[in-house]
Amino acid sequence: MSGTAVASGLGGQAVSTSLRLVREAKVADLLASAASGVDRLEASGVLADDGCLWVIFDNVPYVARLDPALAPNHPDTLLLRQPAGPVGYEDIAQDREGDRYFLLIEAAERSPGVLMAQAHEYDRQFRAVARHWLDFPLERANKGIEGLACVRRHGRAHLLALCEGNFCRGGQVGRRPGGGRIHVFAEGEQGWNRLHTINLPTSLRFTDYSGLSVAGDRVAVVSQESSALWVGRLHPDRWEVVDDGTTYLFPRDRRGRTTYGTIEGVSWLTPGSFAVVSDRVKPTQPARMRAKDQSVHVFALPEA
């Protein structure tokens, strides 16, 4: 595919050329013996940090450290099996200046009938430090916050939280393209208080949103159902995007069908490349997608 194309599932949106696959591997193959006794590794988030990839999962409360070259049995490979906690996490973010990590809980009951996301804070050795709510009510437990990034402005840490559904809604409304939302939370004494909402461009025709990464002023958002990646820019002083950005497809098969149907997390590696992780294929999804699920992938922008 070259030039621009109109992708099915993107509401007729014109998109750029497809992303270029650099390398990929199954998470289980990379972890090898470290993952013994774990039958599923449903990757849901990834963070590139200091020459390694930290990967988290939504079916187990573990954190994996992997080599970005995706070399099996690499000596730096590690699986941290958290002894207790939630079933799993949706995304991972880092506050480099604060020397800490945040692991995202998509939605939990804060009080009867009130659902909110949670950020679990860990130090550099992945020792638990604190758990705080992201102070924004969610409509449904399975349509909560899917992506997380940490951005510092004016010396203050902010968490950027990506809603899974359009307009932060579930059901048919949440599947109506053009309503992508990223909530901005400022750190307070008792947790994370919502400060602002970033509206993604209405021209972005994703059916859902499954991962977020921010590097400087550049923002990357992935969609599982649309099997695509969007790259845009943040305003340096205001919490808003400054342009319509560019949408890229994950590679299709020779018949133009989706093969990467479970993309969950994304992290910038360089200005022109990303690490991406894939969840487990659902029983309702085509069998052709199984070759790409529960994996780590490295993609490059076509112009890189």
Predicted pLDDT at 38: 81
Q: Report pLDDT for 84.
A: 58
Q: Which amino acid is at 296?
A: V
pLDDT digits (tens, 9 = 90+) for 122-153: 999 999 999 999 999 999 888 899 999 999 99
Q: Can you tell me the distance from the alpha carbon of 119 to that of 117, in angstroms, rounded to the nearest whole number?
A: 7
CA 247/CA 265 separation, integer angstroms: 16
Report the chain's mean pLDDT, rounded to a whole number: 92
pLDDT above 90: percentage of residues in the chain: 84
Ordered DSSP codes for 171-193: HHHHTSSS--EEEEEEEETTEEE
- Specify the CATH class of 5-300 in words: mainly beta
Give the side-chain half-sphere CA count within 13 A for 211.
36
Cβ proximity of 92 and 46 under 8 Å: yes
CA–CA distances in Å: residue 167 to residues 89, 177, 236: 22, 9, 24
State yes or no: pLDDT of 34 exceeds 80: no
Alpha-carbon torsion, ordered 287, 293, 294, 300, to 10 deg: 170
Look at strands 128-138 and 191-199 and give their pairing: parallel
Tens of pLDDT, residue by residue over 20-32, are 999 999 999 999 8
Residue with tokens 């992290």: 267
- End-to-end Cα, the chain, rounded Å: 16
Residue 14: the pLDDT is 56
Question: Which pLDDT value is given to residue 1?
Answer: 38
- The answer to whether residues 193 and 210 touch, using CB atoms and an 8 Å cutoff, is no
More confident residue, 171 or 8: 171
pTM above 0.85, yes or no: yes
pLDDT at position 242, please? 97
pLDDT (tens digit per residue) in 38-92 = 888 999 999 999 899 999 999 999 999 999 999 988 998 999 987 656 678 999 9
Are the beta carbons of 219 and 233 closer than 8 angstroms? Answer: yes
Which run of H or E residues covers position 134?
Answer: strand 128-138
Collect contacts of 172-179 with beta carbons under 8 A, ≥24 apart.
174/143, 174/208, 175/207, 175/208, 177/10, 177/11, 177/13, 177/204, 177/205, 177/206, 177/207, 178/202, 178/203, 178/204, 178/205
The percentage of the chain sitting over the pLDDT mark of 70, rounded to a whole number, equals: 94
Query: Which segment of 2-11, 56-65, 211-220, 253-262 scores lowest on mean pLDDT?
Result: 2-11
pLDDT digits (tens, 9 = 90+) for 174-195: 999 999 999 999 998 888 999 9
